[in-house]
Structure 1
Amino acid sequence: MDIPVICIVGAHNSGKTTFITKLISLLKSEGYKITAVKHDPKGKAVTDTPGKDSFKMYQAGADQVILASPDKITSYIRPEKNYTPEYIIENLIVGDPDLIILEGFKWFDGIDKYEVIRKEEKRDLLLKDSPDLKGVITDYYGFNPSFDINDPVQFMEYLKREYLR
């Protein structure tokens, strides 16, 4: 797959998802096809309702359960023990997106990363020494390049120049 991939990282509650959802809305309004992959390293996200049929099928041991409805199709897959973003991108992305946005996966090397950090967090960058860190999305932090966390249009314009076809 020759699709541009970026990774948005940051500490818990730094504003990653809020920023990404605004960014996705902006990109979609300009006609881009976007795939988003959210990392849930602790497995806390609720993706199905206990007691429902799809939940029962997965609990019974199905390797994959697909729940198809008129407005969305959801797929539950038992991942390989050590799945990577590469595995997800190569095996699970459907269609032909213009951009794949990963949220999380800060430990995975080889993907351009943009760290979200807000003044109220009072911390240093998680990836300050990583060669994968390509920019910071912030309301105060001095890094080159920096993007205003309150102005996702600025970051979208950068993505259009640097990544999008």
Structure 2
Amino acid sequence: MKIIGIVGAHNSGKTTFISKLITKLKEKGYKVVAIKHDPKGKAKVDTEGKDSYKFQEAGADQVILVSPTKITTFNKIEKELHPNEIIEKFVNKSADLVILEGFKWYKGFDKFEVIRKEESRELLLKDNEELKGVITDYYPFNPSFDINNVNDFIKYLENNYLKGD
């Protein structure tokens, strides 16, 4: 199982790019896990009033929602976990690729930064040795990948992360 991080500023296009990437990787038969960082804890993950929400509000340490096609689990934790701990504890080990969205300041995995021309900024990870490439519509970096076309990035992943060991 290989791990990469897609990082960037707020509203840089990370989620859109990752969604397209997952679609194409799944079409090619890869097993993909996506983990999104919510550093402020503001993401809406359940609907108020629903049973799973009520169980969480009642104080359950873990809530598991089971349907015929998926299992969703909500786990209370005492401290924020490093991505490697999340992967070790929660990720299906048969995955070919884990894509982390965010976690830009965490160490221990290769990162690809998303930056668009309209952002008018420098790279957040410009001098970070874990930055392995840039996903962009203009920024000069080697390697760089077209933010509007995931196919070149997939070829890069297949050559550098998804090839058989």
The TM-score with structure 1 as length reference comes to: 0.96
CA offsets, 1:113-132, max 9 Å, x none? 00000000000000001111
Partner of 2:97: 99
Partner of 2:78: 80
Map 1:2-151; keep pairs closer than 5 Å.
3-151=1-149
CA offsets, 1:111-159, max 9 Å, x none? 1000000000000000001111000000000011100111100100100
CA distance in 2, matches of 1:35, 1:53: 26
CA distance in 1, matches of 2:44, 2:93: 25
Q: What 5-or-longer segments of structure 1 have no aligned partner?
A: none
Amino acid at match of 1:80: E
Q: Secondary structure at the match of 1:37?
A: strand
CA distance in 2, matches of 1:161, 1:80: 39
Amino acid at match of 1:24: I
Paired residues, what number? Answer: 163
CA distance in 2, matches of 1:10, 1:72: 30
State the 1:70 CA deviation.
2.0
Amino acid at match of 1:23: L
Moved more, 67-76 or 125-134: 67-76
RMSD: 0.9
Runs of 4+ in 1 over 4 A off after TM superposition: none
The TM-score with structure 2 as length reference comes to: 0.96
Percent identical pairs in the alignment equals 64
State the 1:95 CA deviation.
4.4
Partner of 2:154: 156
